[in-house]
């Protein structure tokens, strides 16, 4: 993704990385030199955080771990059942078992040590056994953790030789053990707690902590940054709430989310059973997140978060139109917009694209520049609306007169003929990736095209809207360029099949 130079910075990445590294070191020391750290959310490519906390770098968390590389080893948890049913990561389109290998490569490229993989809720699933053999053939250590009847509520059984005691003990060598996974529900917390049980049986002092960026515990409950987190998880029914245990223990108001609050009494009972006493009086106590202290411009973060809520609303509308979403998610997002005091009119590109559509009677697109200028694009005989908008924006950045054509028919026509006559495409209009390849070719001998092509990095961080649902190809190009896209929940035509 391109560098984002079009947003007002609201977050100090440098300050955050420094404070976060120190907080984790302090927590390691608190437990006598061994800490199991459950890493929630995305370690890589955390674009939600970078959108709502402008200045937060998508790889901030992994860069922070690099500062602790000599103390850190990674354990990756994957649920055996997810291997069996080929569960897919929606954002990447790859299965969890493939993503695990991607994660290992990514950690290794950052100089971090991946110590082992744990197959959680293992029940002799054939696909999990085959995957275990594959991992071992690749030279990885693999351990098995089993389904525990009554988990997480039957504490006496769970914290016994028949519960956690049946799990393999994961051999670790470093003071900070980061437990992460390809996605939610993979058994990270249970892995950490099982390890605490085994360490205790071996007389080793060890502790547990949780690293979850959102909600940010020391921001108000209805702060736009926290509301944006609820918007991001609207389909999961996660709800931010005041941590009642923290309020009771310390008379201090902090924010957590429903699942951690609901399970805390059980966790506390497990700590007491394993270690005699619980080190924590509240879910907030368990956390080590310092993101709230990295905010340097609250107004900038509030503005960015409100825009994110509106974007999530449009995503939910499109998902519902595709038959992949629900009314409840849309309704929850409408309530969040009310809480934040915003509406779709607070996203100027929406009206601009829709008005252009009404005037031309064809799909249209609009993009907002950092200075508030809005540039539109309309559907023509050669270009789709998004492609036209893209060329108009690049011409604006390059100072090229709007009447000048960046690409001649001699370049566009053969590509359109190729699509229809040889590749079986019914739509001759160029997708964005095809347009940009054509622009790159044109830039070799066309000075204006060369100037426009050089302006591509200037698109990162801009807001765009389409009056129709775009193809997955075009959506992917917007994402790669760092443009925040929304679409109206309607298709250009009435066909049943859309790609």
Q: Return the pLDDT at 423.
A: 84
Distance CA 272, CA 259 (A): 20
Contact indicator for 281, 289 with CB cutoff of 8 Å: no
pLDDT exceeds cutoff 90 at 93: no
pLDDT at 417 over 90: no
Q: pLDDT at position 407, please?
A: 83
What pLDDT does residue 496 have?
Answer: 47
- Helix, strand, or coil (residue 237): coil
Q: How many CB atoms neighbour CB 147 within 10 A?
A: 12
pLDDT at 493 over 70: no
What pLDDT sits at residue 237?
77
- Which of 231-245, 324-338, 346-360 is predicted with the least confidence, judged by mean pLDDT? 231-245
Give the Å distances, CA to CA, from 289 to 195, 228, 284. 22, 17, 9
User: What's the rounded Cα separation, in Å, for the pair 312 and 333?
Assistant: 8
Tell me the chain's radius of gyration from C-alpha atoms.
Answer: 25
Percent of the chain with pLDDT over 70: 97
* Mean pLDDT, residues 73-102 taken together: 91
241-256 pLDDT tens trace: 999 999 999 999 999 9
Query: In sequence order, what DSSP letters do the residues of 17-45 get, joined into one string?
Result: HHHHHHHHHHHHHHTTS-EEEEE-S-SS-
**All domains of the chain in start order, with CATH:** 13-222+239-294 (3.10.630.10), 347-487 (3.40.140.40)
Taking the whole predicted model, whether its pTM rises above 0.95 is answered as no
Q: Side-chain half-sphere of 67: how many Cα atoms within 13 Å? A: 16
Element (H, E) at 240: strand 240-242
pLDDT for residue 1 is more than 50: no
pLDDT reading at 317 higher than 80: yes
Long-range interactions of 80-83: CB distance < 8 A, separation 24+ = 80/119, 80/120, 80/121, 80/122, 80/123, 80/125, 80/128, 81/121, 81/123, 81/125, 81/128, 82/182, 82/183, 82/185, 82/186, 83/119, 83/125, 83/127, 83/128, 83/131
DSSP characters over 322-358: TTSS-HHHHHHHHHHHHHHT--GGGSHHHHHHHHHHH
pLDDT above 90: percentage of residues in the chain = 80
Q: Which residues contact 365 (CB under 8 A, 6 or more apart)?
A: 353, 356, 376, 377, 385, 386, 388, 389, 464, 465, 466, 467
Task: Give the CA angle between residues 335, 242, 45 to the nearest 5°.
Answer: 70
């Amino acid at each position: 993704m391109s560098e984002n130079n079009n947003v007002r910075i609201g977050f100090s990445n440098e300050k955050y990385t420094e404070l976060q590294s120190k907080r984790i070191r302090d927590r390691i020391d608190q437990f006598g030199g061994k800490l199991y750290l459950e890493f929630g959310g995305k370690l890589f490519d955390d674009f939600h955080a970078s959108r709502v906390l402008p200045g937060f770098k998508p790889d901030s968390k992994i860069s922070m771990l690099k500062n602790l590389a000599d103390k850190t080893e990674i354990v990756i948890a994957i649920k055996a059942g997810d291997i069996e049913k080929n569960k897919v990561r929606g954002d990447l389109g790859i299965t969890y078992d493939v993503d695990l290998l991607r994660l290992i490569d990514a950690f290794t490229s950052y100089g971090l040590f991946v110590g082992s993989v744990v197959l959680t809720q293992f029940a002799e699933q054939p696909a999990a056994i085959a995957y275990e053999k594959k991992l071992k053939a690749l030279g990885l250590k693999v351990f098995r953790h089993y389904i525990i009847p009554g988990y997480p509520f039957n504490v006496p059984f769970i914290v016994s030789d028949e519960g956690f005691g049946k799990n393999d003990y994961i051999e670790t060598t470093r003071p900070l053990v980061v437990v992460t996974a390809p996605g939610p529900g993979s058994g990270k917390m249970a892995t950490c707690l099982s390890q605490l049980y085994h360490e205790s049986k071996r007389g080793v002092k060890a502790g547990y902590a949780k690293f979850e960026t959102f909600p940010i515990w020391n921001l108000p409950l209805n702060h736009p940054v926290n509301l944006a987190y609820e918007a991001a998880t609207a389909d999961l029914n996660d709800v931010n709430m005041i941590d009642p245990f923290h309020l009771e223990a310390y008379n201090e108001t902090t924010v957590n989310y429903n699942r951690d609050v609901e399970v805390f009494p059980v966790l506390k009972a497990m700590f007491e059973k394993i270690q005699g006493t619980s080190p924590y009086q509240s879910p907030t106590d368990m956390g080590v997140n310092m993101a709230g202290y990295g905010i340097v411009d609250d107004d900038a973060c509030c503005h960015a978060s409100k825009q994110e809520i509106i974007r999530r609303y449009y995503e939910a509308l499109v998902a519902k139109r595709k038959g992949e979403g629900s009314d409840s998610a849309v309704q929850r997002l409408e309530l969040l917009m009310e809480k934040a005091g915003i509406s779709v009119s607070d996203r100027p590109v929406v009206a601009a694209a829709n008005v252009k559509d009404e005037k031309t009677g064809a799909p249209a697109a609009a993009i907002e520049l950092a200075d508030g200028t809005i540039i539109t694009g309309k559907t023509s005989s050669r270009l789709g609306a998004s492609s036209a908008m893209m060329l108009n924006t690049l011409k604006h950045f390059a100072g090229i007169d709007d009447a000048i054509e960046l690409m001649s028919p001699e370049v566009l026509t053969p590509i359109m003929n190729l699509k229809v006559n040889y590749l079986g495409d019914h739509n001759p209009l160029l997708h964005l990736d095809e347009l940009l390849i054509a622009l790159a070719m044109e830039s070799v001998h066309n000075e204006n095209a060369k100037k426009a092509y050089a302006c591509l990095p200037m698109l990162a961080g801009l807001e765009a809207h389409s009056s129709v649902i775009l193809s997955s190809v075009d959506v992917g190009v917007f994402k790669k360029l760092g443009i925040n896209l929304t679409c109206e929940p309607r298709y250009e035509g009435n066909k049943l099949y859309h790609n």
